């Protein structure tokens, strides 16, 4: 897993969704620990992993192997977080 993706995922803690209640807020959580240069470098990584090359199961496995303290049961939820984060980067 790419270092920046680890850093992004590492921002997520158990029950984060109780504080960050919208998808936009949830996506912003992953980006909050990155500086502007890291965000620019992360954008093509997010493009790649949200492409059709990766199944929902692939994304679930990727997320669950990350340093995140919370795990998703559905890879499509992971895809939504990654896509929203990518959209917010412009």
Q: Is the pLDDT of residue 7 over 80?
A: yes
- 27 vs 54: CA distance, rounded Å: 19
Where do the structural domains in the chain lie, given as residue ranges? 3-89
pLDDT at 4: 95
3-state secondary structure of 74: coil
Residue 17: pLDDT band (50, 70, 90) is confident
Report the pLDDT value the prediction gives residue 69, as an integer from 0 to 100: 93
pLDDT of residue 78: 94
For 22-74, the pLDDT digits (tens) are: 889 988 999 999 999 999 999 999 999 999 999 999 999 999 999 999 988 89
CA angle 90, 36, 44 (to 5 degrees): 50
How high is the pLDDT of residue 5? 95
- Given a cut of 90, is residue 10 above it in pLDDT? yes
Nearest to 49 by CA among 79, 25, 28: 79
Q: What is the pLDDT of residue 39?
A: 97
């Amino acid at each position: 897993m790419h270092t920046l993706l680890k850093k992004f995922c590492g921002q997520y803690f158990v029950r984060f969704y109780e504080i960050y209640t919208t998808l936009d807020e949830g996506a912003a959580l992953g980006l909050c620990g990155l500086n502007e240069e890291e965000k620019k470098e992360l954008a093509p990584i997010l493009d790649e992993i949200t492409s059709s090359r990766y199944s929902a199961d692939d994304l679930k496995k990727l997320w669950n192997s990350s340093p995140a303290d919370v795990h998703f049961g559905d890879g499509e939820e992971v895809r939504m977080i990654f896509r929203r984060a990518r959209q917010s980067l412009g």
